Amino acid sequence: MIESSQPIDISRMRIEVPPHPQWPPLNDRQLRQAKSRIRELLQAQNAVLVAHYYTAAELQELAEETGGCVADSLEMARFGAAQEAETLVVCGVKFMGETAKILNPEKRVLMPDLNATCSLDEGCPADEFSRFCDQHPDHTVVVYANTSAEVKARSDWVVTSGIALPIVKYLADRKEKILWAPDKHLGRYVQRLTGVEMLLWQGSCVVHEEFKSVALERLRRLHPDAAVLVHPESPESVIEQADVVGSTTALIRAVEEMKNDTFIVATDGGIFHKMRQLAPQKNLIEAPTAGEGATCQSCAHCPWMGMNAIQNLEQVLLSGGNEITIEPAIRERAVVPIQRMLDFASTHM
Ligand code: 13P
Ligand code: SF4
């Protein structure tokens, strides 16, 4: 039983993290051939690829070469909703595929692997979350996009990292009390910047949680001219050292636009592909993930994003399997807070 007004302790929840990487690399010839087969399949099925910046470089390239998109989670949702194609193939994690389906119920939405989840989504089960909301009926429920369709259906607003701050500011101006889930780090960051009291669910991202502040301080001393770019799912002590805190798109833009030659980047390493494409002359360094006395170097790569590969993308297009389905009653409720976010984005950003 969850105590009223107490933050939820999700530490007892065991989150299974899959091994990474899961797919062997293809040689140049295999990759060329697979890409050309996938291009034909996409065209024959009137399908587009919608990929996240954390997916493998070859998937990002293929998405762009075939008229799809590579983006952050907000832009992925907007792109999918504006598409004419009958099929969206979402290369990312499950909440991204579900959001695409919720916004486009008439379209077929496929994913290379339906088990590609997210620790934030896993750490926020809909039944417990719903009980938490029931205990605080006077609060406006704001949930991060990294949640299941059921959790979104229980919310008033859905936000992504790219739009969380302006939406919470807007709600704060209306004197609304906020219940926030599931990422405690992003929640605390938004709370600090807006000064709003927020009830925080205690979820976290297993990838960003790994960035270590003491090692980052040392690295900054070695590169005093480097700008530090941090995704707000990182711990507070890492965020405090950032020159820029923002969504994946904001961090990419910073590399392009800032004068610095060197950047220390605290987010999933998949983002380096787009950063190198847009700013090949810049020097990019991964923020450290090994803590004091660590015997191994944990890697800043999302194991669930790593479940997307050229091989299972081709399989899914051939078989038509791995289709996202959402119960109509859940979809009907979940679309409201997602659409609210998109409407806010089109009028305020
Ligand atoms: P963005 O919306 O910033 O791309 O973040 C999604 C995500 O899952 C980061 O871990
Ligand atoms: Fe979820 Fe973290 Fe992976 Fe993003 S990087 S999808 S927040 S587990």
* Ligand 2 atom, smallest distance to 304 CA: 3
CA distances from residue 242 to 205, 217, 235 in whole angstroms, order as listed = 18, 11, 11
What is the per-residue pLDDT for 4?
33
Does a structural domain hold residue 244? Answer: yes
* Ligand 2 atom, smallest distance to 268 CA: 5
What is the per-residue pLDDT for 6?
43
Residue range of the domain that includes 319: 28-114+305-332
User: Are residues 154 and 220 both part of a single domain?
Assistant: no
In degrees, rounded to 5, the angle at the alpha carbon of residue 135 between the alpha carbons of residues 134 and 138 is 85
User: Are residues 109 and 129 both part of a single domain?
Assistant: no
Decide whether any atom of ligand 1 lies within 6 Å of the 183 Cβ: no
User: Are residues 110 and 45 both part of a single domain?
Assistant: yes
Does a structural domain hold residue 53? Answer: yes
pLDDT over 70 percentage in the chain: 93
Does a structural domain hold residue 89? Answer: yes
At 12, is the pLDDT very low, low, confident or very high (cuts 50, 70, 90)?
low
At 36, is the pLDDT very low, low, confident or very high (cuts 50, 70, 90)?
very high
pLDDT tens digits for range 125-141 = 999 999 999 999 999 99
Beta-carbon contacts of residue 221 (< 8 Å; ≥ 6 apart): none
Decide whether any atom of ligand 2 lies within 6 Å of the 307 Cβ: no
Q: Report phi then psi at 210, rounded to 5.
A: -80, -15
Reported pTM: 0.94
Hey, what amino acid is at 278?
L
Beta carbons of 88 and 47 less than 8 angstroms apart: yes
Count of domains in the chain?
Answer: 3
User: Are residues 182 and 255 both part of a single domain?
Assistant: no
CA distance 216 to 237: 10
What is the per-residue pLDDT for 1?
26
